[in-house]
Amino acid sequence: MSSTFSDRRGGVGEEFSAVALVEELQARGREVDPLVNAVCTPDPAALTHAARLDTERDEGRVRGPLHGVPVLVKDNIDTADLPTTAGSLALVEQPPPLQDAPLVRRLREAGCVVLGKTNLSEWANFRGSASSSGWSAYGGLTRNPYALNRSAGGSSSGSGAAVAAGLADYAIGTETNGSIVCPAALNGIVGLKPTVGLISQQGIVPISHSQDTAGPMTRTVSQAAALLTVITGGGTDYSESCRGTDLSDVRIGVPRGPLWGYSTGLDEVTERALGLLSRCGATLIDHLSLPTPGGDEDQLQVLAHELKVDLASYLATRAPGGPRTLDDLIAFNKEHADVELQWFGQELFERAAATEGLDSPIYVASRLTALRAGRDGIDDLLRDNQLDALVTPSYSPAWTIDLVNGDHVLGSSSSHAALAGYPLLSVPSGLVAGLPVGITFSGTARSDATLIRLAHAFETARIMADGPFPTPEFTQWV
């Protein structure tokens, strides 16, 4: 039977069942996913779960606003009934524990239907320095729906491309430094990287306990807010922050410097976005600067040290017989070099394997430098200028896929928040030569609700000015 509930575009009043919606999305997947390659493992039981949830609704049992809503989950997050591979062949035959990660359990308890797992940049883009975002040995190459020769970004490539391609309106990604906001910007969707620690990292293949977090990737800000409410446990209803366009009580800082200037088209779109924020009543404090983050060496030391320790702890939860350490994974990749190492190496794995633990003076010093650049840089700028948040361009337009030479990222705005463990929210702002670009709101720890309010106001104002964001046409070349 059909039931009335919020439809996949966020409206209310259209009658359809969860089963009908899952069938619609599966048909859409059969049509367009061969072009995009966003979903690596569909859930064969999705229709069964949807039917059960429809029965519950017809019996008057509604679990919440997302009852019956389909969701895709990145393939580095444990699901009890589907493989979790992080894109690597090394984990294909080594099942995770027969339980969902806490965030997946919360999705199911809220009535969401897990449609399947999305492809990612293998090992969340921390194996070799010349990697191509969106490629994994297990899932192959994910492409950008707006131009199939362009990158979908990473490492949450499949989640970003899937939402843009209409395979689901709700997906979960993970981020260490840009892995949610990058594919969100490149695919023209909303990506929210929450404050680190807001969502449990249990059951998620790690890189860094100080920087990793899962987060929503959705079509709209209100959908991201609803999804965040669920996966954080419901203690805060983030949907309450989606409340119109009046920002007259808000002060937003605009850091310039290296966060701008790497893409003329992106800068032009972002300047127009600043105008829309001003028309919403926000006070913009322009031409600010953030201190340059610690050098790449400090950042890499933190990630390398934490990866060795955190990944070993995670691998210990998997079924016996598989890899237990980075050395095991390095050996596996060498044994299967024709597939695993065909496009790029594993020098980041090798570097991490050589580290000496979290008591190492090198790690302690590098972590302190990272915190000073990220946390203190953001907090000092907010405090000194009495700001509620910051806004910057998100990422350069999608670059051409180049498996031989790797990614060609011109610039981004995620590093300070990554080092600090602070939240980011990327929302579409326009097109450059037919390719999506976005703006990113950032703030201090636990300012997630504030960022949602600002992004929702901007999104509403942009739609009022320009209409709905253009849908992808799956062109071969841009």
Q: What is the pLDDT of residues 26-50, one digit of tens each?
A: 999 999 999 999 999 999 999 999 9
β-strand pairing of 15-16 with 283-288 = unpaired
Examine the residue annotation and report whether 74 is marked as an active-site residue of this protein.
yes
Encoding tokens for residue 9?
A: 């575009």
Contacts of 390 (CB under 8 A, 6+ apart): 252, 253, 254, 255, 288, 378, 381, 382, 441, 442, 443
Q: What is the pLDDT of residues 464-476, one digit of tens each?
A: 999 999 999 999 8
Of residues 259 and 296, the one with the higher pLDDT is: 259
Of these residues, 3, 6, 17, 74, which one is catalytic?
74
Asked if the model's pLDDT at residue 8 lies above 60, the reply is no
pLDDT at 295: 64
Name the one residue in this structure whose structure tokens are 């997947």.
Answer: 29
> What is the residue type of 164?
A
Examine the residue annotation and report whether 179 is marked as an active-site residue of this protein.
yes
pLDDT at 294: 61
Examine the residue annotation and report whether 3 is marked as an active-site residue of this protein.
no
CA distances from 33 to 391, 400, 421 (A): 33, 19, 33
Q: With contact defined as beta carbons under 8 Å apart, do 17 and 1 qualify? A: yes
pLDDT at 197: 98
Listed range (5-9, 52-56, 235-239, 321-325) with the worst mean pLDDT: 5-9
Asked if the model's pLDDT at residue 108 lies above 50, the reply is yes
pLDDT at 292: 79
Task: Please report, rounded to a whole number, the percentage of residues in the chain having pLDDT higher than 90.
Answer: 92
Contacts of 167 (CB under 8 A, 6+ apart): 25, 28, 29, 32, 33, 36, 38, 39, 72, 115
What would the DSSP string read from start to end of 280-304? TTPEEEEEE-PPPPPPHHHHHHHHH
Q: What is the pLDDT of residues 257-272, one digit of tens each?
A: 999 999 999 999 999 9
How far is residue 182's CA from residue 191's CA, in Å, rounded to a whole number? 8
How far is residue 213's CA from residue 269's CA, in Å, rounded to a whole number? 29
Asked if the model's pLDDT at residue 345 lies above 60, the reply is yes
Burial bucket for residue 258 (CB in 10 Å: 0-12, 13-18, 19+): middle
Name the one residue in this structure whose structure tokens are 């980075």.
Answer: 326
Of these residues, 3, 88, 151, 155, which one is catalytic?
155
Of residues 225 and 477, the one with the higher pLDDT is: 225
Of these residues, 3, 121, 151, 179, which one is catalytic?
179
Q: What is the pLDDT of residues 164-202, one digit of tens each?
A: 999 999 999 999 999 999 999 999 999 999 999 999 999
pLDDT at 472: 96
Render the burial of 57-78: b for 16+ CB within 10 Å, e for the rest: beeeeebebbbbbbbbbbbbbb
